Chains A and B, each alone.
Chain A
Amino acid sequence: MNTLPLFRVHFVLRIVTIAIIALLFTSSCSSTPQNSDFFAGSYLDRAQTQEENGIRVTAAVPSAEESKEIFRSPLYRRKVQPVWLKIENNRDEFVSFLPVGLDPAYYTPIEAANLDLKDQKISDRRSSANRLFFKAGMGNTVPPGEQRSGFIFSQLDEGTKSFNVDVIGASGLSAFTFFIPVPGLRLDHQNVDWKNLYPPATVRDLSTDELIEQIEAQPCCVTDKKGEGSGDPINLVLIGNPEDIYYAFIRAGWDETETIYKGSSWKTITSFIGGSEYRYSPISALYVFGRGQDVAFQKARENINERNHLRLWLAPYRYEGIPVWLGQISRDIGVRFTKKTITTHKIDPDVDETREYLLENLAYAQALARIAYLGGVDAASLDQPRGNLTGDPYFTDGYRLVLWVSSQPVDIAEIEVEVWRIPPDRQSTP
């Protein structure tokens, strides 16, 4: 395969590599790597354990620094996140752990060890990285009465890491879902004092009629900080406890949001310039109930300019004893320049399309128990769109989607539909 010119490329690269290694060696010979101990470290203090049907699973997720310490490689920077697992098999049969259930695009240990262009052979005894990762890998088969532990190398999720551990044997499948907080991000919802947002005595429990009346009487749209202007439509109502909502969105593939601080601003700028992904980028405040959103989620697609944004505000009322939230969702389809804010995201003007996408997204994540529609937004047509606070046009049928969010998996077939209002049909002319 090696032709002469390629050989030259290799040769030049090797010289450059030798030079760099020499430089590093002279500048940092004090930092001799210590022998790694996978089973010591504060990430294990954050480990969680679940047990079902004779299978006991313990899981922990090292942070960026901890991973670097264990593997002597900046794995997070390479978008790889190790997940440590211990599986104890108390059944009297062989069971298999299926890493594809944890992450369909997981990295194999040797792949994770070779994310740069190093050219090391596994048979080369000097290739310590290969050996280190290979030894750290998790065995997939656990014999009866035994246990296995090790790392799975998954795609990076900062904030809260959510994953499944599927263990299968002749007597059935045990599926475990973990949500493990990973230190390193400053998240918006950590700043909210949920208990004191509303004095408990002022939070009312509404009947169905009262809920419908209350929701349809809410202003159509978000405002600016002064409570002025009319921005994006408040097109969502969520009913669920904070942890249900949180787990449902994480499971459906949404990311949490960082607050604005020096670190997050820097990450936003570098990802904007480099076109890379900063999945937890701070989101500008829009106002309902006189305050900016309590929590925001986002779902990145191919780059920073293409993502869905969702903002939620806790309302001062409950339905059937469960908190009610108002929400706003938009789909960013690009960046445009404005006089007020210099740049802003261009939203898909068809905001109902985005709203219906969310319904399907949460339904497929088995996170919805019930759905309904209510009015309150005021319709705007494609030919006479309204503008949001940055002058971006949008149109809508004027309906709000009401979603009862469940933290327990609900089969799509079991989602209940409350027929409160029926949005008009959309026609097509292909």
Chain B
Amino acid sequence: MSAGRIVFISLVLFLSACATRSYHYESTKSFPLQDRAVTQTQGHITVSASVPGEDEAQAIFGIPIYQRGIQPVWIEIQNESTNRIRFAPTSVDHDYFSPLEVAYMHRKGFSKQARSEMERRFYRSAMPRQIPAGETRSGYVFTHASPGTKSFDVEIFSANEDQTFAFFIAMPGFTPDYKSVRFDALYDHSEIRDYAASDVRTALDGLPWFSMDQSGSEAGLPVGIVIIAPGIDLLKVLLRAGWNESAKAQDVKQTANAQYLFGRVPDAVFRNQRQGNRERNKLNLWLAPVKIDGKAVWLAQLIHFIGQKTPLEQAIFGARIDPDVDDGSDYLMQNIWYSQSLERVGWLAGEGAVSVESARFDFNSLEYFSDGYRTILWLSPEPISMLETRHMDLDDPPLNR
């Protein structure tokens, strides 16, 4: 018998020995999922939802599904109407994982009996689509995992009407950066000036056009976006538009290279990604010392990473950004418009113009150019049709975008 054969046979023996794991899970009753569920009622329909964290999901399903990028969402629907209703799992995640797909992905190492038990566990725990009149159904939808607050819709259809329930569920074990900012202590009350909605131009006059480095001596990137919205509305709008929160920067180096405004790092950083976890956009937000119509005003810059680099490649080669920073402002405007959250939009010409021919570098050697316009986005807390978005009577839209 050749050495190769011995290795092969031992490998087969080893692998088959592994495939004898049995399958265990804990009953949902031992978790406070229902206790911390968020509940909403519209007419005769009540929807509750809760999202198990990584450890809870491991216990509930007996396998580490988060490690494969799968996040279970628990849903309960009470139908007190006289119609049968249909719940659409695609509304929670249009590319959701089917229950038996999740089981199949994790089959390795389990015995035949255990695989069969696992399949049944997933099959039976799935949220059914049909909810007969007067009944209650509950179960899980298996979604793509996203960091931070989980944002999703639950849509329900019946013969008479369609209903949408929007959920924002805080995740155990994740603290977004803005939670450690004391927003009411950022400015002295006497410092904050409140302007009427008709005075946007005056209100924004004098606010900085560029961020700075940590020492405040070298210029950073343009701050070309102004958002008018209370913090909670801004958060919901960004989550609905597909942005993810960031954890607070721990790394000293990260803080040292950060963009500073009003002498501080961003109050909140949001990110969105392309498929395959390639970082695409980063949105830096700072609360400004003015209010418009009693609403908070945020200065923002969108940094669009290019070169299709993974975080590892970025660490090795350094980040590259799209020097056309106005494209970023335009993207955010459309992104919010398409997610039906833009009540008003306007533009103000200003000081930040840098032509392509004489593109500049910020303190991190990031290259940029801009037409120097500020894009002003007034958010709507409730979904608003794209056709209802109004133009603010400010400057004509920039022509070279």
Q: What residues of B have a CB within 8 angstroms of the CB of A334 in the complex?
A: 104-105
> With A1-B318, A360-B89, A428-B127 in contact, do A348 and B98 touch (Cβ < 8 Å)?
yes
Closest CB in chain B relative to A143 CB, distance in Å? 7
Q: What residues of B have a CB within 8 angstroms of the CB of A122 in the complex?
A: 323-324, 356, 359, 367, 369
Q: A49 at the A/B interface (Cβ < 8 Å)?
A: no
A-binding segment of B4-12, B37-45, B134-142, B232-240: B134-142
Q: B3 at the A/B interface (Cβ < 8 Å)?
A: no
The proximity string for A residues 243-280 relative to B, scoring 1 for CB distances below 8 Å and 0 otherwise, is: 00000000000000000000000000000000000000
Question: Contact between A111 and B322 (Cβ–Cβ < 8 Å)?
Answer: yes
Question: Contact between B307 and A115 (Cβ–Cβ < 8 Å)?
Answer: yes
Question: Contact between B124 and A139 (Cβ–Cβ < 8 Å)?
Answer: no
| Pick from B99, B137, B335, B359: contact of A353, CB under 8 Å | B99
Q: What residues of B have a CB within 8 angstroms of the CB of A94 in the complex?
A: 396-397
Question: Contact between A430 and B140 (Cβ–Cβ < 8 Å)?
Answer: yes
Q: What residues of A have a CB within 8 angstroms of the CB of B99 in the complex?
A: 350, 353
What is the CA–CA distance of A364 and B391 in the complex, to the nearest angstrom?
A: 30
| Pick from B90, B159, B306: contact of A360, CB under 8 Å | B90
Q: A110 at the A/B interface (Cβ < 8 Å)?
A: yes
Question: Contact between B364 and A430 (Cβ–Cβ < 8 Å)?
Answer: no
Q: What residues of B have a CB within 8 angstroms of the CB of A9 in the complex?
A: 316-317
Q: Which B residues, 128 to 168, have Cβ-Cβ distances below 8 Å to chain A?
A: 128-130, 132, 137-140, 157, 159, 161-162
Q: A309 at the A/B interface (Cβ < 8 Å)?
A: no
Closest CB in chain A relative to B66 CB, distance in Å? 16
| Pick from A115, A134, A349, A360: contact of B324, CB under 8 Å | A134
Question: Contact between B306 and A108 (Cβ–Cβ < 8 Å)?
Answer: yes
Question: Contact between A412 and B125 (Cβ–Cβ < 8 Å)?
Answer: no
Q: B189 at the A/B interface (Cβ < 8 Å)?
A: no
Q: A129 at the A/B interface (Cβ < 8 Å)?
A: no
Closest CB in chain A relative to B233 CB, distance in Å? 21
Closest CB in chain B relative to A243 CB, distance in Å? 25
Q: What residues of B have a CB within 8 angstroms of the CB of A427 in the complex?
A: 124, 128, 137
Q: What residues of B have a CB within 8 angstroms of the CB of A100 in the complex?
A: 331, 334-335, 337-338
What is the CA–CA distance of A165 and B305 in the complex, to the nearest angstrom?
A: 25
Question: Contact between A141 and B398 (Cβ–Cβ < 8 Å)?
Answer: yes
Q: B330 at the A/B interface (Cβ < 8 Å)?
A: yes
Question: Contact between A110 and B322 (Cβ–Cβ < 8 Å)?
Answer: yes
Q: What residues of B have a CB within 8 angstroms of the CB of A197 in the complex?
A: none
Q: A426 at the A/B interface (Cβ < 8 Å)?
A: yes
> With A122-B356, A141-B401 in contact, do A350 and B307 touch (Cβ < 8 Å)?
no
Question: Contact between A101 and B124 (Cβ–Cβ < 8 Å)?
Answer: no
Q: Which B residues, 68 to 99, have Cβ-Cβ distances below 8 Å to chain A?
A: 74, 88-90, 94-95, 98-99
Question: Contact between A105 and B274 (Cβ–Cβ < 8 Å)?
Answer: yes
Q: B271 at the A/B interface (Cβ < 8 Å)?
A: no
Q: B101 at the A/B interface (Cβ < 8 Å)?
A: yes
> With A140-B330, A413-B161 in contact, do A430 and B120 touch (Cβ < 8 Å)?
no
Q: B16 at the A/B interface (Cβ < 8 Å)?
A: no
Question: Contact between A331 and B306 (Cβ–Cβ < 8 Å)?
Answer: no
Q: B28 at the A/B interface (Cβ < 8 Å)?
A: yes
Q: Which B residues, 381 to 401, have Cβ-Cβ distances below 8 Å to chain A?
A: 386-387, 389, 391, 396-401
Question: Contact between B398 and A430 (Cβ–Cβ < 8 Å)?
Answer: no
Q: Which residue of B lies closest to A112 (CB)?
A: B306
Q: What residues of A have a CB within 8 angstroms of the CB of B159 in the complex?
A: 417
The proximity string for B residues 305-348 relative to A, scoring 1 for CB distances below 8 Å and 0 otherwise, is: 01111000100111010111001001100110110000000000
Q: Which A residues, 93 to 121, have Cβ-Cβ distances below 8 Å to chain B?
A: 94, 96, 98-101, 104-105, 108-111, 114-117, 119, 121
> With A108-B322, A117-B317, A331-B98 in contact, do A428 and B396 touch (Cβ < 8 Å)?
no
Closest CB in chain B relative to A402 CB, distance in Å? 16
Q: B365 at the A/B interface (Cβ < 8 Å)?
A: yes
What is the CA–CA distance of A331 and B354 in the complex, to the nearest angstrom?
A: 52
| Pick from A115, A119, A333: contact of B105, CB under 8 Å | A333
Q: Which residue of A lies closest to B357 (CB)?
A: A123
Q: B304 at the A/B interface (Cβ < 8 Å)?
A: yes
Q: A15 at the A/B interface (Cβ < 8 Å)?
A: no
Q: A283 at the A/B interface (Cβ < 8 Å)?
A: no
Q: Which residue of A lies closest to B122 (CB)?
A: A350
Q: B100 at the A/B interface (Cβ < 8 Å)?
A: yes
The proximity string for A residues 400-430 relative to B, scoring 1 for CB distances below 8 Å and 0 otherwise, is: 0000000000001100010000000111111
Question: Contact between B327 and A108 (Cβ–Cβ < 8 Å)?
Answer: yes
B-binding segment of A28-36, A166-174, A290-298: A166-174
Question: Contact between B386 and A356 (Cβ–Cβ < 8 Å)?
Answer: no
What is the CA–CA distance of A141 and B99 in the complex, to the nearest angstrom?
A: 46
What is the CA–CA distance of A354 and B88 in the complex, to the nearest angstrom?
A: 13
Q: What residues of A have a CB within 8 angstroms of the CB of B132 in the complex?
A: 425
Q: What residues of B have a CB within 8 angstroms of the CB of A111 in the complex?
A: 304, 306-307, 322
| Pick from B90, B161, B338, B367: contact of A98, CB under 8 Å | B338
Closest CB in chain A relative to B93 CB, distance in Å? 11
Question: Contact between A110 and B123 (Cβ–Cβ < 8 Å)?
Answer: no
What is the CA–CA distance of A417 and B160 in the complex, to the nearest angstrom?
A: 11
Q: What residues of A have a CB within 8 angstroms of the CB of B364 in the complex?
A: 1
Question: Contact between A134 and B356 (Cβ–Cβ < 8 Å)?
Answer: yes
What is the CA–CA distance of A301 and B100 in the complex, to the nearest angstrom?
A: 16
What is the CA–CA distance of A331 and B100 in the complex, to the nearest angstrom?
A: 10
Q: Which residue of A lies closest to B272 (CB)?
A: A105
What is the CA–CA distance of A39 and B132 in the complex, to the nearest angstrom?
A: 59
* Pairs A–B under 8 Å by Cβ, sample size 8: A1-B365, A98-B334, A98-B338, A115-B308, A122-B324, A123-B358, A139-B401, A333-B98
Closest 8 CB pairs of A and B: A100-B334, A428-B139, A123-B359, A111-B306, A360-B90, A333-B101, A426-B128, A430-B125
